[in-house]
Structure 1
Amino acid sequence: MTNNNEVINTNLDSKSIVLGMGCFWGAEKRLSEVPGVIDVESGYSNGDDVNAGYKEVLGLEQLIKMGLSQKRNHAEVIKVTYNPSMIDLKTILIKFWENHNPTQGDRQGNDVGSNYRSAIYYQTDEEKAIAEETKTVFQEALTKAGKQAITTEIAPLSNYITAEEYHQDYLEKNPNGYCGLGGTGVAYPGSETKQHPRLEASALNKEKQLIVFEAEECPYCVKFKQDVLNTWTAETPIVATLNPQQPEGWKLEKALFATPTIVLFENGKEVSRYTGYNGDKARFWKWLGFRLLTPEQRRIAFEEGTEAPFTGSHLDETRPGYFVDPITGAKLFRSDTKFKSGTGWPSFFSPLESAITEHTDNSLGMSRVEVRSASSGIHLGHVFNDGPAPTYKRYCINGNVLKFVPDKEKE
């Protein structure tokens, strides 16, 4: 722990600066990627309690919100140690301004409270001057872009406390499917930061559109592309962007704070979002399914429900085509494998290869084999051994969780 402006540099060949960018997990990751940065440490700073830890900071913030304490809380911060022969403080502060949103007051994205305030805590007059200078320059750029005023606290460093070990390199040790998002999308004037173009609203489907907000050097964004985006066949259009801003004229309900974040827009307004992806495809598709399916479809798909016989869709559908997953659009059954079973449910003697998965089902006092969609994991029905040749199988499927796509007519 360091108190009352005590210089925290321990290596004569290095310098350090303490910065608050909201939750220190993402801030630590972002600044550690900057060439010339030697180390980034998570900590707490510039609060009244010289012995505070994570629980104390969160507890005090609750008391402050309830009006039960007048104490000043610590900010979650990172101590950035750097080699001044490789990188100067101005360059580090440019990365600071660009990699978070310094206009939000006591919050950063979904994290709300004075402990998440934007801050620069300096140790020398020279550091203070550079902080104030870069703030002025970046404010001009923000104002030109139509953004709000900077709320960043610039003050002398006091009461710096190293955070608990489990907070250090947190996103490396505990990958939870998202990476810190790169701020306002406004570049510091003269910096080499690449600004990615904002999506054009005219090129999108205003009625219903999915947008994947990504970031560079985000492994979870790459994983989402590999697992989901690269094989997208769903009816709902989807597009990915490296710009954190919504299309002009469209509305996000709240600021983005991590990537990948997948947002569903309807009529140009956000109606739902999915933040964080760790390879759990079924969880992602369930999120989307709850937005796209009817209550009856959701009951079947996610609660292993069954429609009443002779009430579902596609019972008499005989046109050439495919029956597909209603969420992912993945092909499940070909119409030429469909037959009349007389049971009241669409029946097939064979699914497409790798389209479904089978699972033991001992519910309702019976031993059956459940059938799920391999792409989304939703419940489809059951398979029995009383079908016709050549497989002698009967895939008894709920019609309400099938979508039929007819073959295109040949010209």
Structure 2
Amino acid sequence: MMKRSPWAALAVASLLAAGLSGGAFAQQTVKIGAIYPLSGNAASAGTSAKAAIELAVDIINNDHPELGDITLAKGTGLPNLKGAKVEVVFADNQGTPAAGQNQALRLITEEKVVALHGAYQSGITTTASAIAERYGIPFMTGESVAANLTERGFKWFFRTTPIASDIADVYVSFLKEMKAKGMKIDNLVIVNENTEYGTSIAKVVGDTAKAGGFNVSMVIPYSANTTDVQSQVLQLKDAKPDAAIFISYTSDAILFTKTMQALGYKPPILIGDNSGFSDASYLRTVGPIAQGVINRSAWDIGKPGSPTFLINEMYKKKTGNDLDDTSGRVMQGFLALAEAVNRAGSTEPAKLQAALKATDLKPNQLMMGYKGIKFDAKGQNILASAMLIQAQGDQYVAVWPKESATAELKLPYKAWEK
């Protein structure tokens, strides 16, 4: 056997050192998967969510001291992982539960992401998060609100957004206050798309309204992929509700608004349940004929110079649009996930899970108007909250509750009237 020279041994040692150095350097990127509808009927919302996450990554990876106490804004990268940068691998769920499930599997097994975020539609979040649960990978949603998502006994699922019961309480409290002020609000109608999101919200809102003393005279479900809602609008017109609550995605919300104008019908109060009504393309497309529509939100641009104002300016520079509530909730969920990864100081699943469970973010650390972020045993943020906003002119303004309002509530629903 030939004896290895000292110089050869030194060369091997140098190569090994270089290899280890390269491996250590490669680990300075933390990969997170993001599953959103980048094609299909909800592509507009998915594209906005993608832009919001990209902005969150910019805030995390680069130094933004102007954003004050916003999570991970100061400094660069994840300090507890030696400044590791966050990398996002986006996947298109195509607006279907099956595609969402397949993409979750691909991101975990092929892309080797350390956590997942998504997936906008609650029905897709259901299937995608089930894959994450099977593989023991954290799954965060900042926007999917179906109540049952945190009722499955999952240990790896976390949600920062308000849920159906929180939302229903907001609507009922608002309607009770309007009734106390003398408005006739006896008859409610709920119109909902028929996937997991619309069906679950409709049930919770209906049950809460009935418990609050309101008569829900009709629930009108429809297919989220429909191209004609004349029959649903005629049903609504015949029911003569004092308030109508719509649970719709973007294309549906636009279609209903146009159809109501075409058929000359508008209820005294129209509440849109975020989602499609929050999409920037909604006001851009039908804003002039939807004046006074009420929407729920946890996002407020804030005063000039404030962290939220500056975040909105960054988003507007990137996309040409103001940040909407849904995209804001996506961004907040992603920032909370990244904060937990940093606090864990590791990408090991068990340590990430423990860090998420221990999350305790304060209002000053958040870009959304929550009372904080703290998860219960089911993975739900117990400090999530919301307010009501109204379309006035070319934007939404905060109108309820009074302490959160930046403009006066205007009723009845004006729609297309001057």
- Coarse TM-score class (shorter-chain normalised): under 0.3
Q: Which has the higher contact order (CA 8 A, sep 6+)?
A: 2
Higher helix share: 2
Higher strand share: 1
Structure with higher Rg: it is 1
